[in-house]
Amino acid sequence: MISLSDIPSRSPAQAYGAIVLLALALATAPWWLPMVGLYQYLGIEIAIWMIFALGFNLLFGYAGLHSFGHGAYLGIGAYAFGLFQQNVALSLWGGLAAGILAAGVAGAVVGAFISHRRGIYYALLTIAFGQVFWFTSMKLYGITGGEDGLLGIPRPPLSLPGIEFDLRPNVALFYLVAILLVASVLVLWRLANSPFGRVLQAIRQNETRARFAGYEVWRFKLAAFVISAMFAGLAGGLFSMAQQSAYPDVMSLHQSGLIVMMVLVGGGLVSFWGPVLGVILYFVARDVLGGFTETWLLWYGLMFMAMVMLRPEGLAGMFHLGWKRLRGTRDHASALAAEKA
């Protein structure tokens, strides 16, 4: 079993190569999505979940803190965006900032409470807090609209100095989400490979030793939680724009579990890019398998179980090992050749 730290950190040039590749794929998506039989809205959904998943993996994969209640922050972002549009002002940036801020504050409160805990107790408390938020969103009819949620959330136009873009068409919204996704990738990549990211990895490997090395571990755990909650809030704000509504289901345990499944299947435990693969696999499975059979979730669940049993390092880990084996045999062959000569 390999882990994130076993894959050597690449030189920035290589990483930027991958980021440029992602940006190109996103930029051309409106052309090739219909060609492979998919549709524009799916692109929006996938890009939003990628933001969510990448932010989540800073906590889950890098810091090794297993949150099973992260759907809550997605939902808080969605509600904050909707409430901002309906009660404060019709503004894209204002709404997104409100979503990020609200999720960040909620994350800070929860994080302050749980950051002294470790292992399974940490995971269980994240579930409990996630359920508290979910439950609150259902019961505060006056603010959240109860089980129906907030309906008719507008897609405010994107206004930059001098120009204004209408985001109501799906293609326009997709480009906004895609740009924010690339920005998120850049920020998270920097964070994950900064000294801060190294400390998070040290905490995952051995929390006690990291503390003995002089790091105030709980501050790092808190920071990782807040940052991942803020990315979830950003994703949530975009999600409420895409769905034009925000409802309690976004926060449910089901969603929180889905993000864990996606990140793990993709290989978030071993690679920065794991969450991206996992999100693509999930949505393609949903749309392609879902086209054949009503019970696609059964097959996805079975695949997930098989993955946990046999290949917990996920898709990214399988690619990595396959690549290493390929290169290993090549190295081996050249070494043999050198010996002969």
Partner 1 sequence: MLDLLPHILNGLTLGLLFALIALGFTLIVGVMEVINLAHGSLFALGAYFALSLIGGTWFGDTAFAAWWLSLAIETRYVAALLLGPVLAAVAGMILELCLRPTYGKAPLYGLLLTFGAALVIEEIIRLGWGTGEQNLAVPVAINGPILVAGFIYSKYKFFAAGFSLVAIFAVWLFLEKTPYGTIIKAGAHDSEMVRALGYDLSKLRLLVFGFGAALAGLAGIIMVPIWGLRPHVGIDVVIPAFLIIVIGGIGSFWGAVIAALMVGLAVGITGAYAGAWATMSMYILLILVVGLRSRGLFGRKSALEN
- Closest to partner 1 by CB, 60 vs 175, is 60
| Phi (first) and psi of residue 34, to 5 degrees | -65, -30
297 contacts partner 1 (rule: CB under 8 A): yes
Residue 120 touching partner 1 (CB under 8 A): yes
Q: 89 vs 128, which CB is nearer to partner 1?
A: 128
The yes or no reply on residue 316 touching partner 1 (CB under 8 A) is: no
Q: Shortest distance, CB of residue 56 to partner 1, whole angstroms?
A: 14
Three-state DSSP class for residue 5: helix
Check binding of 253 to partner 1 (CB under 8 A).
Answer: yes
The count of residues interacting with partner 1 (CB under 8 A) is: 39
Q: Residue 85 Cβ, how far from partner 1 at the closest point, in Å?
A: 27
Is 213 a binding residue for partner 1 by CB under 8 A? The answer is no
Q: Does 308 bind partner 1 (CB under 8 A)?
A: yes
Q: Which of 264, 277, 279, 316 binds partner 1 (CB under 8 A)?
A: 264
- Which part of the chain contacts partner 1 (CB under 8 A), choosing from 14-22, 28-36, 162-170, 290-298? 290-298
**Distance of closest approach, residue 260 Cβ to partner 1, in angstroms:** 7
User: CA-CA distance, 327 to 41, in Å (whole number)?
Assistant: 39
Q: Answer yes or no whether residue 291 interacts with partner 1 by CB under 8 A.
A: no
261: contact with partner 1 by CB under 8 A: yes
Site for partner 1 in 78-117 (CB under 8 A): 113, 116-117
Minimum distance of partner 1 from residue 283's CB (angstroms): 17
Nearer to partner 1 by Cβ, of 66 and 198: the residue is 66
Q: Which of 1, 13, 35, 341 binds partner 1 (CB under 8 A)?
A: 1
**Of the candidates 81, 94, 92, which has an alpha carbon nearest to the alpha carbon of residue 153?**
81
Q: At what angle do helices 12-35 and 40-57 cross, to 10 degrees?
A: 150
CA dihedral 114, 116, 121, 123 (to 10 degrees): 50
Cβ atoms within 10 A of the Cβ of 124, count? 15
Q: Which of 272, 266, 206 is nearest to 7 (CA)?
A: 272
Q: Which of residues 138-197 bind partner 1 (CB under 8 A)?
A: 139
Closest listed residue to residue 137, CA positions, set 240, 242, 241: 240
Instruction: Say what angle helices 170-192 and 12-35 make with each other, to 10 degrees.
Output: 160
Q: Which is nearer to partner 1, 178 or 259 (CB)?
A: 259
Q: Is 20 in the site for partner 1 (CB under 8 A)?
A: no
Contact 250, 236 (CB under 8 A): yes
In angstroms, the CA 67 to CA 55 distance is 12
> Minimum Å distance from CB 183 to partner 1?
30
Of the candidate residues 27, 109, 132, 183, the single one contacting partner 1 (CB under 8 A): 132
Cβ atoms 116, 138 nearer than 8 A: no
Between the alpha carbon of residue 38 and those of residues 193, 230, 299, the distances in Å are 34, 30, 21
Which amino acid would we find at residue 201?
Answer: Q
For residue 158, what are its two tokens? Answer: 């994107």
Q: Report the residue number, 253 or 284, with the smaller CB distance to partner 1.
A: 253
**Residue whose entry in the numeric block shows the structure tokens 């002969």:** 340
**Residue 311 exposed, middle or buried by CB count within 10 Å (0-12, 13-18, 19+):** middle
Considering the rule CB under 8 A, would residue 333 count as an interface residue with partner 1? no
Q: What is the DSSP letter of 63?
A: S
What's CA 38's distance to the chain center, in Å? 22
Per CB under 8 A, the segment of 13-21, 38-46, 222-230, 256-264 that binds partner 1 is 256-264
In angstroms, the CA 166 to CA 159 distance is 9
Q: Residue 85 or residue 252: which is nearer to partner 1 going by CB? A: 252
Q: Note the residues at the interface with partner 1 (CB under 8 A).
A: 1, 66, 68, 113, 116-121, 123-125, 127-129, 131-132, 135-136, 139, 253-254, 257, 260-261, 264, 295, 297-298, 300-302, 304-305, 308-310, 312
